[in-house]
């Protein structure tokens, strides 16, 4: 007598988690890394030039802060080296987001337009995993390390006493900030299932990252509300730095950031599944 026939999960669905599923996805991700290294080393000059450009842009931002504090003692309650720490943290979060997710979110509309998404949906791995992590920007890790150096120097100038608990909380909140950016940008990129092209929306949100380099106290009224709760670019950097610099007035803000990261991840997953139901493949 034949046993029951196992059901095949629909393309894009998440199979039940088990050790084999995890190991398979880790092997896939390792292969994606190897492909990214090969691609970057094929165009070494472009790889190095992009690192230099990012470093110059980071240096320009630090120079701007230096010039700004020639004319003022503080921005709200933020001193010069606290703002340097904020700029470094913002750059660190942005570069890690760029390393793992930016190019993949930006390319989603091209996958939809050309029908290349068909091949990813047919692979024996979660489709969102493949779309989100298909390419890795290795140069961004170099720039993230530079941001860490600047952050360390700012901490030294501020003479902060860093405990293990504070560093752990800071790291966890930075991770939450990256997840917020990824979830919102992935959700915006999913608009391409309706509009075909969505690069303008994706890069428009990416440009808002520049606001995260400024203290939240520099903004007032509706502008601050929108960029704290609706598009939380101020929240994702100011909260981790406030924890690290002992400027936190209430545990409400870290809790809000954690809940926001979880909520954005859930909503973006819902948006992705809804978008896949609309997708009719290149052959249709």
The DSSP line for 237-266 is HHHHHHHHTT----THHHHHHHHHHHHHHH
Q: What is the pLDDT of residue 7?
A: 44
- CB under 8 Å to 148, separation ≥6 — which residues? 88, 92
Helices (H), ranges, the chain: 19-42, 44-68, 80-97, 103-114, 117-122, 127-133, 139-158, 164-189, 192-195, 199-207, 221-225, 235-244, 252-278
Q: What is the pLDDT of residue 51?
A: 86
pLDDT tens-digit map of 182-241: 999 999 888 888 876 777 777 788 888 888 888 888 888 888 888 888 888 889 999 999
pLDDT tens-digit map of 52-65: 888 998 999 899 88
pTM of structure: 0.85
- With 70 as the cut, is the pLDDT of residue 95 above it? yes
């Amino acid at each position: 007598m034949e046993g029951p026939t196992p059901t095949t999960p629909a393309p894009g669905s998440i199979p039940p988690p088990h050790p084999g599923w995890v190991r398979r996805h880790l092997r896939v991700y390792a292969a994606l890394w190897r492909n990214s290294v090969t691609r970057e080393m094929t165009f070494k000059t472009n790889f190095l030039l992009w690192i230099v450009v990012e470093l110059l842009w980071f240096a320009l931002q630090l120079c701007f802060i230096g010039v700004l504090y020639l004319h003022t003692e503080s921005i709200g309650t933020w001193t010069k080296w606290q703002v340097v720490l904020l700029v470094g943290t913002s750059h660190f979060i942005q570069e890690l987001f760029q390393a793992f997710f930016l190019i993949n979110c930006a390319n989603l509309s091209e996958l939809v337009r050309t029908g290349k998404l068909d091949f990813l949906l047919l692979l024996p791995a979660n489709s969102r995993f493949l779309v989100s992590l298909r390419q890795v920007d290795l140069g961004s890790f170099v720039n993230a390390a530079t941001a860490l150096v600047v952050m360390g120097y700012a901490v030294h100038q501020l003479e902060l006493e860093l405990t293990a608990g504070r560093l752990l909380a800071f790291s966890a909140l930075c991770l939450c900030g990256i997840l917020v950016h990824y979830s919102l940008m992935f959700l915006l990129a999913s608009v391409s299932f309706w509009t075909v092209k969505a690069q303008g929306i994706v890069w428009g949100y990416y440009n808002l990252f520049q606001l995260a380099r400024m203290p939240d106290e520099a903004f007032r009224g509706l502008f601050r509300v929108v960029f704290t709760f609706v598009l939380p670019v101020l929240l994702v950097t100011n909260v981790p730095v406030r924890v690290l610099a002992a400027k936190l007035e209430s545990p409400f803000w870290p809790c809000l950031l954690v809940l926001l990261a979880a909520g954005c991840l859930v909503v973006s997953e819902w948006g992705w599944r809804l978008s896949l139901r609309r997708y009719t493949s290149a052959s249709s």
